[in-house]
């Protein structure tokens, strides 16, 4: 059952990605991208990462995509599809580069057992049993990784100030 | 085997992002492709967390925060460039190159 659902959501994600890179207008591309994000969120949940799946939907499909949609509609884009696509040479180069990237990444992953199993599945199951789905992620984040966590907060603050400075006409 | 399959899916999504970057000119769609590639990396992290431990999911949290910051600043740059050139074609961004 999990296997079948995985295939459904994986094809949803790939279809959404294809629709995005070939979409005729930026809004259509964005809607396909949201489809991809939902597919990926469902795959996170199938992989057992429930909290990350919820975060994916709230932050990506919610906040970031609304920001994109807002900018697209603010700038009133999307009337020149032909100008938007690059020339045939670029397309051939693009598909060749992507094919090489995909082949190399797949080649690195594919031999079965190339990922050493260090018992992560049972460790996660034990942590979820003890702390719950959110706590299992939160405890290591706020203990071992507390410095990166605080730095992320600082980064977000800098991003807010930077966005205001860049987008404001006159400060 | 869900883990290996998910890693291959992440490779496919990443290469689709690469295709999008190379064949489109609209800066906003290029941003969407960058988000797709970040998502592919996140998928690899989550898949590997099944083998290595909860750290994979912690890193995904940080990547999502960085992606949010990147989207805010990037879209602010797009708005600033649009105000100047009345277009978001990527050729107008050459001023940022050097």
Domain holding B30: CATH number?
1.10.287.3510
Residue A117 lies in a domain: no
User: What is the C-alpha to C-alpha distance for residues B84 and B86, in angstroms, rounded to an integer?
Assistant: 6
The H-or-E segment that residue A71 falls in is helix A65-75
- Asked if the structure places residue A40 within a domain, the reply is yes
Q: In this complex, how many residue pairs, one in chain A and one in chain B, have their CB atoms less than 8 Å apart?
A: 243
- What ipTM was assigned to the predicted interfaces of this complex? 0.90
Q: Across the interface, do B24 and A169 touch by the CB < 8 Å criterion?
A: no
Cβ pair A60:B51 closer than 8 A = no
Q: Which of A1, A72, A3, A59 is nearest to A31 (CA)?
A: A72
Asked if B14 and A105 come within 8 Å (Cβ–Cβ), the reply is yes
Count of domains observed in chain A: 2
Domain that holds residue A34: 1-85
**Does residue A96 lie in a domain region?**
no
DSSP string, B22-57: HHB-BHHHHHHHHHHHHHHHHHHHHHHHHHH-THHH
Q: For residue B9, what is the nearest residue in chain A, using CA coordinates? A: A10
Where on the phi/psi map is residue A76: left (φ > 0), alpha (ψ -120 to 50), or beta?
left
What's the total number of domains in chain B?
A: 1
The label of the residue with tokens 């909860």 reads B54
pLDDT tens for chain A, 171 residues: list them.
Answer: 888 999 999 999 999 999 998 888 888 899 999 999 999 999 999 988 899 999 999 988 888 889 888 888 888 776 666 677 777 888 888 888 888 888 888 777 776 666 777 777 788 888 888 888 888 888 888 999 999 999 999 999 999 999 888 888 765
């Amino acid at each position: 059952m999990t296997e079948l659902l995985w295939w459904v959501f994986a094809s949803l994600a790939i279809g959404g990605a294809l629709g995005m890179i070939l979409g005729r207008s930026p809004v259509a591309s964005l809607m396909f991208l949201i489809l991809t994000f939902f597919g990926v969120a469902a795959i996170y949940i199938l992989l057992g990462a429930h909290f990350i799946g919820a975060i994916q939907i709230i932050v990506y499909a919610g906040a970031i995509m609304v920001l994109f949609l807002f900018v697209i509609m603010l700038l009133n884009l999307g009337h020149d599809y032909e100008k938007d696509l690059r020339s045939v040479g670029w397309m051939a180069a693009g598909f060749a580069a992507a094919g090489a990237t995909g082949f190399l990444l797949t080649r690195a992953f594919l031999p079965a057992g190339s990922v050493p199993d260090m018992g992560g599945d049972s460790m996660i199951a034990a942590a979820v049993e003890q702390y719950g789905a959110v706590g299992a992620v939160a405890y290591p984040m706020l203990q071992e990784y507390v410095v990166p966590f605080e730095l992320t907060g600082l980064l977000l603050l800098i991003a807010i100030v930077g966005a205001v400075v860049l987008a404001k006409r006159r400060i | 085997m869900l883990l290996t399959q998910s890693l291959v899916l992440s490779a496919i999504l990443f290469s689709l992002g690469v295709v999008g970057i190379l064949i489109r000119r609209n800066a906003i769609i290029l941003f969407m492709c960058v988000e797709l590639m970040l998502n592919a990396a996140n998928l690899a992290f989550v898949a590997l967390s099944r083998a290595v431990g909860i750290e994979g999911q912690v890193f995904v949290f940080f990547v999502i925060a960085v992606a949010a910051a990147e989207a805010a600043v990037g879209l602010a740059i797009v708005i600033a460039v649009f105000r100047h050139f009345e277009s978001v074609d990527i050729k107008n961004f050459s001023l940022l190159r050097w």
